[in-house]
Structure 1
Amino acid sequence: MSDSETFALTSPAEGPVALNQSWLGSDRLLEWIIACQSDPATGTAYLGGTAEGVRAELEGLDQDWKDTVRVVTVQGQPVAACAVEWDEEPATAWIQGPWGSEDAVETWGEPLMAAMVEQLPAEITTLEICGEVRNSAMADLADRLGWQPTEVNHAMVLPVEDAQSVAARSSVDRPAGITVRNALEQDLPRLATLHESEFPEAYATSAQLLSRHLTVVAVLDEALVGYASGQIQDDGQAYIDFTAVDPAARRRGVGRSLILAVIEQLLQAADAERLTQVHLTVREEKAPAQALYESLGFRTDAAIRGYRGTRSGS
């Protein structure tokens, strides 16, 4: 970002306000964002809560956060900020933030959202923000923007020691007749049917499950009946992103077999010195799935909700 670039936001109450260039992408701003992330009422669910995790996740965004971030300062201190990441394939942008107090987000949330939209390629049509259900400022902002809330998801975690223990049972605990293997290119049509049925507005396409994720599939009676997909995030932690089982094949141990197999894959792919937990999220309404994860040792860490809007509605 060149020194000659300047940005301005317009507050309904205060009029045009120039953004403080010295804060954009600075270590001071990063420290302030980390402080916001440590409080569920001011953090975004897209980033972690530890200093190392937040730093790694921001640096791992597809677009350089130091270029996309916009920060409002008052008396030389940041009061509100946002950054943004986007992907043309699902035509979606994920807004990091808005960070700030409830009053600051009430004042600067909408101007910051507009500043995020200004940066997006024309192909991007959907925008999302996500946070803890305790982040009332984010919920109020989404309501003012006319964005629709998603269902509540429970973020669950499994300590790495427990993950290693259950992964060791991956093959032993698998019911007879179920085969679990890595997903192949020829699996894509069936994989797409399962993925798009269970996750119609997912942040990853079916093709990306093969190119960007570690994905395993379950075969029962020569038919592909389920899959589980995960990845190692920039903070070094393992995330199980998607799991789906054909309704006709449920209650036969397919889901459990898939989870154990993808955990095993993630443990093999991770940096053992950095990995501390395996993460996943499950919709609140999916009580059987939540019970399955709890039986494997996962515990609920947070309740999160996303908010989604269209570009024209922002």
Structure 2
Amino acid sequence: MKDTLPKASLGYFPTPLIELTRLSKTLGGPNIYMKRDDNTGLALGGNKTRKLEYIMGDALAKGADTVITAGAIQSNHCRQTAGAAASLGLECHLVLGGEEPEQPQGNLLLDKVYGCHIHWTGENRKGEDIPALVAQLKAEGKKPYVIPYGGSNELGAVAFIEAYKELNAQREALKVDFSYIIFASSSGATHAGLMLGNKILQTHSQIVGINIDKGEMDKVPFDEHIVSLANSTAQLIAADYQFTADDLILNSDYVGDGYGVIGELEKEAIALTAQNEGILLDPVYTGRAMGGLIDMIRTGQIKATDNVLFWHTGGAPALFAYADDLDIR
């Protein structure tokens, strides 16, 4: 049961729930609200803080002295893992796809500030090279703990069941119901946890993940991975729910040219949100998800009378690394 799961205190909760009145007006409706998980506090914030509270709690309970995780060069998850490890006195190893740049920027700069050990792995950005590193660290007498890509396992999903309960209390205080809850869906645990939270609390919102990556998770199609993770998380917390593909809403219309490739969709979403609300989105995740939301409004998929929640999962530090792609002069 989740009540017995160890947990480290890493963030500041609840995060704010606000209404984006100027952006809503600019788009001609609907009423857009935002859950500000960019304000979780750890390492400049982000939704991964929630997952890491449970994952780091498990690592400490198992006696780990070192954590390992993987991601892309501008991984928000890796940046928050680095901050969490520093705050808990754990050694941190990041297995990053790509090649080391001459000048670190954005999330990578922060990874280095936190004193992480960084391992460059070329085309492999989802942890394919972690087993060899685990063996090496064990041979050195370390006690490594592997954190999955994106923090997306059952513990990460449990964190977003709790996050959904947090949102629901705020929603009830505002006396508002959300027709849609929209967010960037990338590694699965946020999506699975929100699906479970919606089911447990019977709030009947449509949980809409905007797919930001063409890839798979653990060699499994991403949609199947999310459903499987929702079911294994339900089993972990002894909840009598069984999800199927029919329960999943994963919108892949906005993947464009792939992960981290910035197009006009993301550029416009970043500019509109910044210039109407003073809120920064990132180019890879929230920029794409907000771009999807804006298009769904313009094409009539979301009505002007709807109440929509956009879950801001963080990532603004990556803006600095994408200055050339954003073409801001």
Length-normalised TM-score, structure 2: 0.28
Higher strand share: 1
Length-normalised TM-score, structure 1: 0.29
